[in-house]
Amino acid sequence: MHKDTVNSEPSESVLDGLVRTVLSQNTTEANSQRAFCSLKSVFPTWEDVLAADSKCIENAIRCGGLAPTKASCIKNVLNCLLEKRGKLCLEYLRDFSIDEIKAELSNFKGIGPKTVACVLMFNLQHDDFPVDTHVFQIAKAIGWVPAVADRNKSYLHLNQRIPDELKFDLNCLLYTHGKLCRKCIKEGSSQQKKKCNDNKEQERCNSCPLLNYCKNS
């Protein structure tokens, strides 16, 4: 996910946003950012990426991890776009409804619900609530989703329940909190709450405002 950069790049193309989100899977923000910049500097246009050998694409994005998977996903998107639309551009999605966008993007192999949700929210300015690891763990810990729900079910559940006008801000808040605080996630998922031994520990325990809302605490 690339929330920290969202405000600095309001004019990012939808295709750039999609690829950036693909590169953000299973890695840190710093690494995915580096992978995206590296890809753009080796291949200035998407036509260059499409024409390139898969190995060269993999090498360019290696620092973001899962290079072969991500390279083939990106190349497949570009291939499909050229075949279906005649050019390497996703701007046409701006005229689509949310459901149409979800259907269109999900058609690409390797593009899952979280990637679609990120593009919806960051690049197409629709109200959506992507559920990444951080958001998922906090939602679980504070009991906002059923205990048995996996990430995709949680996504459907939270999108249904959270009012549209709160989605963007709340998502950024939970995502940022999840990145900075491990306390609520650990407390919420452990069956027994650890006892705070001394004042210092007590202070640290109280430092997360979500602890009082954790289900198992």
DSSP 167-210: HHHHHHHHHHHHHH--HHHHHHHSSSPPPP-SHHHHHHHHT-TT
Please report how close the Cβ of residue 165 comes to Zn ion at its closest, in angstroms.
24
Closest CA to 170 of 3, 23, 8, 11: 3
By the rule CB under 5 A, 181 interacts with Zn ion:
yes
Per annotation, catalytic residue among 70, 102, 114, 183:
114
Q: Does 205 bind Zn ion (CB under 5 A)?
A: no
Q: Does 140 bind Zn ion (CB under 5 A)?
A: no
Distance CA 97, CA 101 (A): 6
Structure tokens at 156: 């459907």
Token representation of residue 13: 């193309």
State yes or no: is 114 an active-site residue: yes
Q: How many of the chain's residues bind Zn ion (CB under 5 A)?
A: 5
Question: Which range touches Zn ion (CB under 5 A), out of 35-43, 129-137, 155-163, 179-187?
Answer: 179-187
Q: Is residue 141 a contact residue for Zn ion (CB under 5 A)? A: no
Among 134, 183, 187, 188, binds Zn ion (CB under 5 A): 183
Contact flag: residue 210 with Zn ion (CB under 5 A): yes
Q: What's the token pair of residue 16?
A: 């750039």
**Segment contacting Zn ion by CB under 5 A, of 11-19, 21-29, 101-109, 174-182:** 174-182
Which run of H or of E encompasses 83? helix 67-85
Binding positions for Zn ion, rule: CB under 5 A: 181, 183-184, 208, 210
Catalytic residue numbers? Answer: 114
